[in-house]
Amino acid sequence: MRTLIDCGWIVTMDPGTGDLRDAQILVEGERIAAVGRDLGARADARIDARGMIALPGLVNAHLHTFQTALRGFGTEWTAPEYFRHQAGDLSTRYTPEDNHLGNLMGALNQIDHGVTTVLDFCHNLKNREQVERSLDGLEESGIRAVFAIARGMDAPMTPNAPAAAGRRPLEEEARLLRKGRLASDERLVTLALAMSGPHWATYETCLEHARLAKELGILLCSHATKKRAEARVPDGYDRLAADGLLGPEHNLVHCQLLEDEELKRILDTGASITSTCMNELHDYPEFPAAGRVHRLGFLPSIGVDVEVQVPADMWRETQAALRAARQEAMMELAKTGKKAERMPVPARAALAWATLGGARALGLEDRIGSLAPGKQADLILLRAADLNLCPVHDPVYAIEQAHAGNVDTVMIGGRLRKQHGRMLLDPSWLRARQEALAASARRLLREAGHAAAPAGA
């Protein structure tokens, strides 16, 4: 199947091609065959996007997708409240079907927003059935995903049994997936391992995770959310580096409390750092690390993190990341008595964080993140004639102004998932699953003793 897309603008994020006006994208099967003007290609289907901006699909590099049913419930929670209510209680009450619904509906929402790839940090898993049903949800959605699995708590934490952040890896489940459903790295969904990391767990537990990930040849993801002196293993990441277990196959999330020197040591190993800016600005007093990673000369990635507290919207996330990085840079400059003579962080940088940066962080840079021949046909089209985007002076500036409502078309691996502003789903099928998701939320909240806030409260 060959599809020719006639575009008004193409922002390829490919340095060799750049931005194009009145150009075309030829998709053959699941890959991009060509990008350029007047391709003269024969095609089986043609998409008229002459009034649209084409760009790579967004990459949400960190999302606890299973939490979808409780979206917005913790909007006014502080970080300690989140850990007490969600991580330490609600997350332990999910059944395999709750995880399946959360992952399915959360991933569909991501596609609807123009996200073509997500890293699903699924860290509430208790048994093989829950692992398999979580994976089912991602696969049924049609999204490209990195499924990062971690062991969850068996029961809610209590004062005498606090959250055990240093849980051992899901070794048996990971091995079974790597030999079976997720044996191939060419699939739409691939496997990764998630862990708490040395900020929360013993070094021995971190070694177990790191060695297993290395043996299986998969990505390892960890949370870094404490100052070095407050970490359970303050020199944990340095020790992992010294043991040859910190590098391009390791993705660290947050890192906003790390000093520049440690950030640079981590980045120099080839490891990636993902900021979740909306969430970090929500409940931490420090700026997200993305701006400092950028200033140090590296490419950060960004993600949404917890939909319980912030919108699972990569457009807002990208805009928040850009504004936070600019504000931080200007504040640092102001300390020297100077003012910025030009904007310290360009709009294209933030778009790179949401595309190429995410692709690189997830080990998928050779497959996604830019529109280049040979790469997977993961792309989105924005309606440039929408009231909030017209007129377009620079397509990158227009993208920076965009929101989810501007997303007309989403293609993943050459397959259309959204077109003419509508998800390609059966409405009755979707309604049934929305009802099931709402029922899942009601049961979880009831079991945990929560009551939804009354209307108008």
Determine contact, residues 359/37, Cβ cutoff 8 Å.
Answer: no
Structural domains of the chain, ranges and CATH numbers in brackets = 2-56+369-419 (2.30.40.10), 58-361 (3.20.20.140)
Report the SS3 class of residue 339: coil
What string of DSSP letters covers 169-229?
P-HHHHHHHHHTTT--TTSSEEEEEEE--TTTS-HHHHHHHHHHHHHHT-EEEEEE-S-GG
User: Of 419, 377, 321, 404, which Cα lies nearest the Cα of 117?
Assistant: 377
Residue 120 has phi, psi (to 5 degrees) of: -95, 105
pLDDT of the residue at 457 = 37
What is the mean pLDDT, run by run of 10 residues, along the chain of 457 residues? 97 96 98 96 95 98 98 95 94 97 98 98 97 98 98 81 68 98 97 96 96 98 95 96 97 97 98 98 94 98 97 98 97 90 95 98 98 98 98 98 98 98 98 98 96 49
pLDDT of the residue at 170 = 95
Sheet-wide strand order for 219-224: 58-63, 115-125, 144-151, 189-195, 219-224, 250-254, 272-275, 301-302
Tokens 């990195």, located at residue: 146
Q: Mention every residue, 6+ apart, whose C-beta is less than 8 A from residue 259.
A: 228
pLDDT of the residue at 453 = 46
Bridge pairing between strands 31-36 and 19-28: antiparallel
pLDDT of the residue at 386 = 98
Determine contact, residues 69/126, Cβ cutoff 8 Å.
Answer: no
pLDDT of the residue at 157 = 81
Beta strands in 218-331 (DSSP E): 219-224, 250-254, 272-275, 301-302
